[in-house]
Amino acid sequence: MAKKKVKNKIPSKKYAKYKLEGNKLTRARLCPKCGPAVFLGEHKDRFYCGKCNYLEMK
């Protein structure tokens, strides 16, 4: 019973989103704690980093 089934889920959607965010760098916020590779999640009135729980008010 070899595990030959590879997860064939290509994160095309996620990738597209990432690319999109790359084009909107002026809007996207980067986490000052995690570095420029981590984007902050945008919420109504704040940005939130899911990695280090950093919170930044708008």
Binding region for Zn ion (CB under 5 A):
31, 33-34, 49, 51-52, 54
Nearer to Zn ion, 8 or 53 (CB): 53
Nearer to Zn ion, 29 or 31 (CB): 31
Least spacing, CB of residue 24 vs Zn ion, in Å: 19
Question: What value, to the nearest 5°, has the Cα angle with vertex 24 and ends 51 and 13?
Answer: 65
Least spacing, CB of residue 32 vs Zn ion, in Å: 8
